[in-house]
Each structure stands twice: as C-alpha cells, then as structure tokens.
C-alpha cells in the first residue's frame, strides 16, 4: 500500500484521529499537509515533522477563503482527507443553536467546501483519492448525539454522490466510519464515566475500544492503489458494533 510520491492533505490533521491519519500516511511514504484551526497544534506538528515531507497549515474548514489560501500554496495533490469534525453531547431539545450550527458547519458544510476547494486538483489530474471521516453515528442512533448523527449521515450521502460525479474523472470517494475510538477527547469522557467504556466493550463484538491507528490504517488502504475499485463506500471501523449485538 505504498504511498510514495503522493501528496496528501488532512483537515483536522493535528490531533486525535486526524493526527494518526497524518502520521500513517507519512509512514507509508506520502508528503502530508495537515490543516488545523489551532496555532499551538500547528506548531507542535511542525516540531514533530521538521522536514519538507510533512507540514501544517492554519485554516478553518468553515472558511472558504482560508482553504483557498492553503490551496494556492499546493502545486499538486493526490489524496484528500476531509477529517475535521466536532461534537457536543446534549439532549436534542436543549442543544444550543451555536453548538448545532458548529456541528453542521464543520462536519457537513466544512467537508463539502473542502471537497469543492481541493477536489478540482484531483479532477484535473484525472486521478486521486478522497477519504472523509464519517462516523458509526451515521447509521447507529446514539443518545445525546442527534445533531452529530445527522451531520455524519449527511456526509455519507455526500460521499456517495461525489463518487458518482467524480468517478468518470478517475477519482474515488469513500469514508471511514469510526466507532468508539480512544482519542484524547474520548479518553476524558471515559475517565469521567468508566462505566460507559465497559458498556461499550460489552456491546462490541471484538470486545475492545478502537484505537486511532485502527482508523488510520483503513484510511491508508482507501488512499492506496489497493482500493482502486472501491468508491462511494463508508467503511465502518467499529469493532463490529454496526454488525449487531449478542446481548439478546
């Protein structure tokens, strides 16, 4: 699955799953550009990857102009990973309008605009890979995540439609759908609610939580020539939760 000679851009690529994706793509030989809204995370990424093979850019996926500024500094692109996303756990009827808009604008609008800005680089080349970060929540209803689930379901629909539009140009468009993955943010929730982690493990066929590397390796596969005939799919990396449960 070598990605040598490829250039990849990962939004939200300086923390959590996005950072793991950036590291994995770099390990597989790709030149990586990570995009983040956090100046501190951008500086930390640059410190980890001091060479020209990986760099970080400051931009917000909700801001088309900031993405276009990044694009102007990229002469070539082979792999696009719209990964940036946010979540607020809250009862649906009590969710603040600001939090609702942030999730829709980041998880769906932001992915759409990211594809609009960088997709033409792949289309013009006549080849490329798009691998968006969706979620198990797109098909598996979850408590306190109504808006998040809606945004990720929309992303899966976007992936299918873009696969149809961009396929004739040699571009594949897929998504990964992480289940419950151990990231710095989820670890905080787990530490505060250890019973929730145990409940998740008991309802996961593989009987463990996911690690960021579990997701990143699937992204590397979808970004490689090994997945050359796979498009329009959301691959759930969830330990089997979406397959069903043996609790009954």
Q: Which residues are known to be catalytic?
A: 148
Q: Which residues pair with 132 in a beta bridge?
A: 175
Question: What's the CA angle centered on 119, arms 115 and 120, to 5 degrees?
Answer: 140
- Within the chain, where are the H helices? 16-27, 39-48, 64-71, 97-104, 110-125, 146-166, 184-192, 194-202, 212-223
Q: How far apart are CA 180 and CA 239, in angstroms?
A: 9
Contact 27, 195 (CB under 8 A): no
Q: For residue 136, give the nearest of 176, 178, 88, 84 by alpha carbon.
A: 178
The secondary structure element, H or E, covering residue 130 is strand 128-133
* DSSP annotation string for 214-248: HHHHHHHHHHSGGGTT--S-EEEESTTGGG--S--
CA 104 vs CA 9, 111, 151: distances in Å: 22, 10, 6
């Amino acid at each position: 699955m070598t990605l040598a000679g490829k250039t990849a851009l990962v939004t939200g690529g300086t923390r959590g799953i996005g950072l793991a994706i950036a590291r994995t793509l770099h390990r597989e030989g790709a030149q990586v550009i990570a995009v983040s809204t956090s100046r501190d995370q951008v500086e930390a990424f640059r410190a980890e990857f001091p060479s020209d093979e990986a760099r970080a850019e400051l931009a917000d996926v909700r801001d088309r102009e900031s993405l276009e500024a990044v694009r102007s500094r990229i002469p070539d692109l082979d792999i696009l990973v719209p990964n940036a996303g946010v979540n607020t756990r809250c009862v649906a009827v009590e969710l603040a309008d600001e939090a609702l808009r942030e999730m829709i604008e980041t998880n769906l609008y932001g992915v759409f605009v990211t594809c609009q800005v960088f997709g033409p680089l792949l289309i013009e080349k006549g080849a490329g890979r798009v691998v968006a970060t969706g979620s198990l929540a797109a098909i598996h209803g979850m408590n306190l995540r109504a808006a998040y689930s809606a945004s990720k379901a929309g992303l899966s629909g976007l992936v299918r439609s873009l696969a149809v539009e961009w396929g004739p140009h040699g571009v594949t468009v897929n998504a990964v759908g992480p289940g419950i993955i151990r990231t710095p943010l989820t670890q905080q929730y787990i530490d505060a609610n250890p019973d929730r982690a145990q409940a998740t493990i008991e309802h996961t066929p593989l009987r463990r939580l996911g690690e960021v590397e579990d997701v990143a390796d699937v992204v590397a596969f979808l970004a490689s020539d090994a997945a050359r005939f796979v498009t329009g799919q959301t691959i759930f990396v969830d330990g089997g939760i979406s397959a069903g449960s043996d609790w009954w």
